[in-house]
Structure 1
Amino acid sequence: MVNIPLAHDLLWGMTPAQLPADAPQWAVESLAAGQPVVVRRALSAEGFVAVGVRGVLREQRLAAFMALDSIACQVSPEALCHIDSERDLPAMRALQQLRPMLDDCGWVWGVSGSAGFELASGFEAMHEASDLDLILRTPQLLMRNQARKLMALFDQSLCRVDMQLQTPFGAVALREWAGTSARVLLKNEHQACLVSDPWNPQEQAA
């Protein structure tokens, strides 16, 4: 039994037959090769989940919907924290460098983006200039000074590190929350909106 898919989870089991009729050939080939799809933030019909299909090129991304009963395997970003790659790339060296600090930070964290995709699937998705994309599960408020301390560590890393804070009401970029703007962009299934407190449900209702 799979859990309810969350944004950034990787799912296996979607077939080319579930793609729209006008889907590009690269998307058909990706699924035919057995690649997973990644859960994205968007509303979907009952029994389906919004996903993205990855191609070889950066611009090859297709929004689609996968039937929940097609899910054969599900991997979350936090399941990838301690998996290593045999490829010696800056993103992987940065992950090894940051892992002890992230393990000790007191929050649940995970690997997403191209690094997570490759670690989970074995399909090459990273290159020398790839960012390291991370998530941090933050059910309670992460103070802005804590965010700035994290960013200071990331800024010393071997590649650009982008972290998303996963609040109960959506996701916000750590880089924004660590900044000086009074309001930051919060993204969820319904909308993207500017808020001053991503952990306050009243703001999203406003």
Structure 2
Amino acid sequence: MNKTPKPHDLLWGMTPDQLPANAPAWAWQVLAAGHPVVVRRALCEPGHVAVGIRGASRDQRLAAIMPIRSIRRLLSPEQLRPLGPGDLPALRALETVASMLDATDRSWGPTGGVGFQLATGIPVLHAASDLDLLLRTREPFERQQARTLLAALAEAPCRIDLQLETPLGAVALREWAGESRRVLLKCAEGARLVDNPWQPMERAA
């Protein structure tokens, strides 16, 4: 695998024997069935990637570590697109917002349950499911631009949670579009409040 896994990427190849001995039975079953895991933000040893395993219900979530050498397939959120009109609000919302996100000239894609269902065909969505999205913002995304986008997304047929992925981590569009001077930046080392999610913090000498 030449591509470095990023948060929200879906990975295939993790096997049940790579789980800790005390892992729940449902996690063993998920991996035995060949389901993918999702990359999460956490530090781990070189040659490994932090992942999350998804079960059939909301309470079935498990943090784990996957050897990078085990990756057989990788799908990033921006590789996932709606296959056509969906009969659920989250899928209809994805189709509705696709053109406005394309218009930002930045890479984007669905994450969460929508991304998982598009990638696997496994029906994990329901009528009350939200739509989770990420937008790759390697360059700063102006706060007024964030407010305009947030207002446009509010017209979708379900709640949308969009994360702005910066080179330093991720910040919620809803926060960056707000009035607070400082926002929560999520990164592998944890979460911290920052003024500018694109500005590296100065390290103490």
TM-score normalised by structure 1 residue count? 0.95
Q: Which residue of 2 aligns with 1:146?
A: 145
Instruction: Report the Cα distance in structure 1 between the residues aligned to 2:106 and 2:177, rounded to whole angstroms.
Output: 17
- The CA deviation string for residues 83-102 of structure 1, in whole angstroms up to 9 with x for no partner, is 32675110000011111111
Query: What does residue range 156-171 of structure 1 map to in structure 2 within 5 Å?
Result: 156-171=155-170
Alignment-mate amino acid for residue 87 of structure 2: D
User: What is the Cα deviation at residue 44 of structure 1?
Assistant: 0.8
Q: Which residue of 1 aligns with 2:175?
A: 176
- The CA deviation string for residues 109-159 of structure 1, in whole angstroms up to 9 with x for no partner, is 111110001101111221111110000000111000000011101111100
User: What is the Cα deviation at residue 202 of structure 1?
Assistant: 2.4
Identity over aligned pairs, percent: 57
Q: Which residue of 1 aligns with 2:198?
A: 199
Instruction: Report the Cα distance in structure 2 between the residues aligned to 1:174 and 1:194, rounded to whole angstroms.
Output: 15
Q: Which residue of 1 aligns with 2:184?
A: 185
Query: What does residue range 73-88 of structure 1 map to in structure 2 within 5 Å?
Result: 73-80=73-80, 82-84=81-83, 87-88=86-87
Alignment-mate amino acid for residue 143 of structure 1: E
SS of the residue 2:78 aligns to? helix
Q: Which residue of 1 aligns with 2:15?
A: 15
Please state if 1:64 is matched with 2:35. Answer: no
Instruction: Verify the 8 A CA contact 1:10 1:76 in the aligned structure 2.
Output: yes
Instruction: Report the Cα distance in structure 2 between the residues aligned to 1:129 and 1:33, rounded to whole angstroms.
Output: 27
SS of the residue 2:122 aligns to? coil
Gaps of 5+ in 1: none
Instruction: Verify the 8 A CA contact 1:48 1:66 in the aligned structure 2.
Output: yes
Instruction: Verify the 8 A CA contact 1:170 1:188 in the aligned structure 2.
Output: yes
Q: Which residue of 2 aligns with 1:107?
A: 106
Instruction: Report the Cα distance in structure 1 between the residues aligned to 2:101 and 2:85, rounded to whole angstroms.
Output: 21
- The CA deviation string for residues 162-191 of structure 1, in whole angstroms up to 9 with x for no partner, is 000000100000010011111100011112
Alignment-mate amino acid for residue 117 of structure 1: F
SS of the residue 2:201 aligns to? helix
Instruction: Report the Cα distance in structure 1 between the residues aligned to 2:82 and 2:153, rounded to whole angstroms.
Output: 20
Q: Which residue of 2 aligns with 1:32?
A: 32
- The worse-fitting range, judged by mean Cα deviation, of 82-91 and 128-137 is 82-91
Q: Which residue of 1 aligns with 2:41?
A: 41
Instruction: Verify the 8 A CA contact 2:82 2:94 in the aligned structure 1.
Output: no
Moved over 3 A (4+): none
SS of the residue 1:202 aligns to? coil
User: What is the Cα deviation at residue 104 of structure 1?
Assistant: 1.2
Alignment-mate amino acid for residue 128 of structure 2: A
SS of the residue 1:78 aligns to? helix
User: What is the Cα deviation at residue 2 of structure 1?
Assistant: 3.6
Gaps of 5+ in 2: none
Instruction: Report the Cα distance in structure 2 between the residues aligned to 1:34 and 1:85, rounded to whole angstroms.
Output: 26
